[in-house]
């Protein structure tokens, strides 16, 4: 179900307003990631939790307990995530990929990465197919830079892999009627029929193995997984276990989503250091208007974008993060100092990302065609699946 209300909107194609996550948990009918679930996860993953879990940035799930039980009882899972290539990728888009890679390292299992060029072409009224394809290749470099195992990871472009998988898609499509997808995705009589068919593909990837999939994504993708739960059993496949991250807040403030149409709202993975500096320095802050007032009254890290970005991704050390939070609240740490600290962290991160992104140009064939899993998937006969 896509959530639409006067205060905020979250659908797979739109995030507007200030997202109330507690409320979303209720209206989407997902479960919060409780300490108990986190402890169980910690146990089956060998005693360590990624900072995205420790800090409850991943905050909700659907059926994660099934995946935990599978791991506990020795059943293999597979991982699945994706990207709709409508423009350059920003730092927020990386969160599900970074987390998926961490899970792949822990569990040593296959990862499927769907690049939904079809979805973005069909959804964006003005997008040309050539433009979307160009972004698809560009985005794949950012994804590969995250460092997935090339023999256990298959990255595919929907329009290219479509032929192979079509027999499975028609089986999925036959189980879903228009009134269901229109209720879930808000399709209307004027929605083009390509977009109406598209969800079958995003769902079908959860059936690429006859095992349970574990899907990290932001909460906006939940409508697909709800539908997956409705049809999986009937087709003889497993219901997916999903885990949802919050949105990395835009640089421009706590409302809405980072977007290409407002470049100052996000850091793109191809931004240079000068641009990064400029964007961070003018980011929305929870500090006081003057240094004097800040020292006197302190700042508010809960709404401060620089602090939130450190918390979401850029400060790995929990103790340091805590100290920064305290100092900012008390007023000893000034907004400018906090931003500079974030800038230095981001520059280091980007330096490493740029290097790996360059190397990715040579690795792309492995992930798409030549790695072990890719070869297996290109010879798969889905008519017998």
Binding site for ligand TYM (CB under 6 A): 12, 80-84, 92-93, 95-96, 114, 116, 119, 202, 215, 217-218, 220-221, 245, 247-248, 257-258
- For residues 271 and 329, which CB has a smaller minimum distance to ligand TYM in the complex? 271
- For residues 81 and 288, which CB has a smaller minimum distance to ligand TYM in the complex? 81
Which residues are within 8 A (CB) of 60 and not within 5 positions of it... i.e. 6 or more apart?
21, 24, 25, 28, 30, 31, 32, 33, 219, 243, 244
DSSP state of 259: B
- For residues 111 and 333, which CB has a smaller minimum distance to ligand TYM in the complex? 111
3-class secondary-structure state, position 114:
strand
- For residues 91 and 333, which CB has a smaller minimum distance to ligand TYM in the complex? 91
How far apart are alpha carbons 61 and 241 in whole angstroms? 7
- For residues 141 and 218, which CB has a smaller minimum distance to ligand TYM in the complex? 218
Closest distance to ligand TYM from the beta carbon of 328 (Å)? 22
3-class secondary-structure state, position 14:
strand
Closest distance to ligand TYM from the beta carbon of 241 (Å)? 12
- For residues 70 and 220, which CB has a smaller minimum distance to ligand TYM in the complex? 220
Closest distance to ligand TYM from the beta carbon of 74 (Å)? 25
Q: Could you tell me how many helices (H) and strands (E) the chain has, helices first?
A: 18, 10
- For residues 191 and 295, which CB has a smaller minimum distance to ligand TYM in the complex? 191
Closest distance to ligand TYM from the beta carbon of 318 (Å)? 20
Strand order in the sheet with 212-218: 31-32, 58-62, 241-245, 212-218, 77-83, 111-115, 153-157
Which residues are within 8 A (CB) of 188 and not within 5 positions of it... i.e. 6 or more apart?
182
- For residues 123 and 294, which CB has a smaller minimum distance to ligand TYM in the complex? 123
User: For 108-157, where are the alpha helices, taking DSSP H only?
Assistant: 117-123, 129-144
Closest distance to ligand TYM from the beta carbon of 322 (Å)? 23
Closest distance to ligand TYM from the beta carbon of 221 (Å)? 5
- For residues 82 and 287, which CB has a smaller minimum distance to ligand TYM in the complex? 82
Closest distance to ligand TYM from the beta carbon of 81 (Å)? 4
- For residues 265 and 285, which CB has a smaller minimum distance to ligand TYM in the complex? 265
Closest distance to ligand TYM from the beta carbon of 197 (Å)? 14
Closest distance to ligand TYM from the beta carbon of 57 (Å)? 9
And the tokens for 326? 């305290």
Buried-state track 352-367, b at ≥16 Cβ within 10 A, e below 16: ebeebbeebeebbebb
User: For the chain, where are the alpha helices, taking DSSP H only?
Assistant: 21-28, 35-44, 51-54, 64-72, 91-107, 117-123, 129-144, 158-174, 178-185, 193-197, 199-204, 222-231, 273-281, 291-297, 305-309, 318-330, 335-365, 372-378
Q: What is the CA radius of gyration of the chain?
A: 21
Closest distance to ligand TYM from the beta carbon of 123 (Å)? 9
How far apart are alpha carbons 379 and 169 in whole angstroms? 17
CB of 252 closer than 8 Å to CB of 262: yes
């Amino acid at each position: 179900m896509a959530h639409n209300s006067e205060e905020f909107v979250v659908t797979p194609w739109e995030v507007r307003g200030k997202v109330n996550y507690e409320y979303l948990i209720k209206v989407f009918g997902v479960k919060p990631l409780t300490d108990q679930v986190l402890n169980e996860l910690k146990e089956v993953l060998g005693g360590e939790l990624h900072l995205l879990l420790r800090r409850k940035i991943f905050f909700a799930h659907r059926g994660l307990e099934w995946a935990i039980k599978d791991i506990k009882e020795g059943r293999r899972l597979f991982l699945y995530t994706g990207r709709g290539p409508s423009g350059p990728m920003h730092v927020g888009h990386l969160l599900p990929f970074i987390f998926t890679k961490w899970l792949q390292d822990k569990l040593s299992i296959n990862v499927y990465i769907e690049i939904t060029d079809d979805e973005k072409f069909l959804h964006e009224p003005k997008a040309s197919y050539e433009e979307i394809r160009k972004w698809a290749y560009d985005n794949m470099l950012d994804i590969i830079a995250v460092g997935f195992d090339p023999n256990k990871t298959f990255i595919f472009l929907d329009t290219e892999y479509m032929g192979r998988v079509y027999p499975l898609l028609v089986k999925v499509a036959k189980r879903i009627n228009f009134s269901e997808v229109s209720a879930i995705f808000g399709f209307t009589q004027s929605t083009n029929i390509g977009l109406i068919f598209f969800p079958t593909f995003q769902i079908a990837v959860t059936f690429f193995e006859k095992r349970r999939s574990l899907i990290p994504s932001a909460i906006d993708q939940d409508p697909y997984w709800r539908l997956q739960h409705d049809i999986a059993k009937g087709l003889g496949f497993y219901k997916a276990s999903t885990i949802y991250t919050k949105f990395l807040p835009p640089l421009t403030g706590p409302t809405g989503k980072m977007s290409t149409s407002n470049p100052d709202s996000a850091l793109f993975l191809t931004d240079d250091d000068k641009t990064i500096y400029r964007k961070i320095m003018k980011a929305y802050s929870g500090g006081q208007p003057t240094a004097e007032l800040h020292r006197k009254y302190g700042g508010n890290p809960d709404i401060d974008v620089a602090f939130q970005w450190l918390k979401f991704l850029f400060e790995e050390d929990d103790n340091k993060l805590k100290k920064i939070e305290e100092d900012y609240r008390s007023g000893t740490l000034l907004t400018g100092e906090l931003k500079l600290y974030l800038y230095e962290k981001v520059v280091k991160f980007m330096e490493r990302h740029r290097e790996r992104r360059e190397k990715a140009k040579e690795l792309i064939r492995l992930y798409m065609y030549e790695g072990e899993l890719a070869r297996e998937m290109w010879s798969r006969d889905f008519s017998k699946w």
